Amino acid sequence: MGKITVEFCEIEGLKIITPAVFEDARGYFYETYHYEAYKEAGIGDVFVQDNQSSSKRGVLRGLHFQIHHPQAKLVRVIKGEVFDVAVDIRPGSPTYGCWHGEILSAENKKQYYIPANFAHGFLVLSQDAEFCYKCTDFYHPGDEGGILYRDPQIGVKWPIAEGMEIILSEKDTKWGGLDSLKRE
């Protein structure tokens, strides 16, 4: 393939993508997305929306998902560093409730492919971070679901540094645990 290297995770469907980066005295160049290369790697999704967020150290966003309009996501960081987490919430999956976390940064340029029917969230580890992601469906405001980031049943090991203040949105403080998912 040459354009990307793909690492498979212990949870079926999750993939870590490292692009081929071409550097010289001027700086660097790499393709952030190439449909044919990703399709060859088993990611044939059609992405319909790109999003970008900026967050400061300690911001934890998630764990979010869309209930009736699930989205696959291709996520990356263009400034700073985050710990990015996906939780398998696919009904009937042998790894239901299991999670995988990955450090994504502007420096390592890794991308994380998260299939539909996973809850997703991230914690900002650097002073600030800019986070970009492609989605396979449009955002539907009334369709959002979530799981509390510290649900003991899931047991995500967030790398919270001593003295780090965790900053959550109001809605992210109110999600229930995995057992409380209301999926029709």
**Per-residue model confidence (pLDDT) at position 141:** 87
pLDDT band at 184 (very low <50, low <70, confident <90, very high): very low
Sheet of 81-88: strand order equals 99-105, 81-88, 118-124, 60-66, 144-146
Answer positive or negative: Cα dihedral of 102, 105, 110, 113: positive
147: buried, middle or exposed (CB in 10 Å: 19+, 13-18, 0-12)?
A: buried
- Tell which CATH classification among 3.40.50.1820, 2.60.40.10, 3.90.950.20, 2.60.120.10 matches the domain 45-180: 2.60.120.10
Question: Distances in Å between the alpha carbon of 36 and those of 17, 113, 114, 128, 133?
Answer: 14, 15, 18, 33, 18
Report whether 32 contacts 126 (CB < 8 A). no
Catalytic residue list contains 133: yes
How much is the pTM? Answer: 0.94
**Per-residue model confidence (pLDDT) at position 9:** 92
Catalytic residue list contains 64: yes
**Looking at 38, 113, 133, 149, which residue is catalytic?**
133
**Per-residue model confidence (pLDDT) at position 18:** 96
Contacts (Cβ under 8 Å, ≥6 apart) of 149: 60, 62, 63, 121, 156, 158, 168, 172, 175
Q: pLDDT tens, 73-131?
A: 999 999 999 999 999 999 999 999 999 999 999 999 999 999 999 999 999 999 999 99
pLDDT band at 3 (very low <50, low <70, confident <90, very high): confident
**Looking at 30, 64, 69, 96, which residue is catalytic?**
64
Looking at every residue in the chain, the average pLDDT score rounds to 95
Q: What angle do CA 134, 1, 31 make, to 5 degrees?
A: 40
**Per-residue model confidence (pLDDT) at position 183:** 52
In the chain, where the domains are located: 45-180
Q: pLDDT tens, 25-54?
A: 999 999 999 999 999 999 999 999 999 999
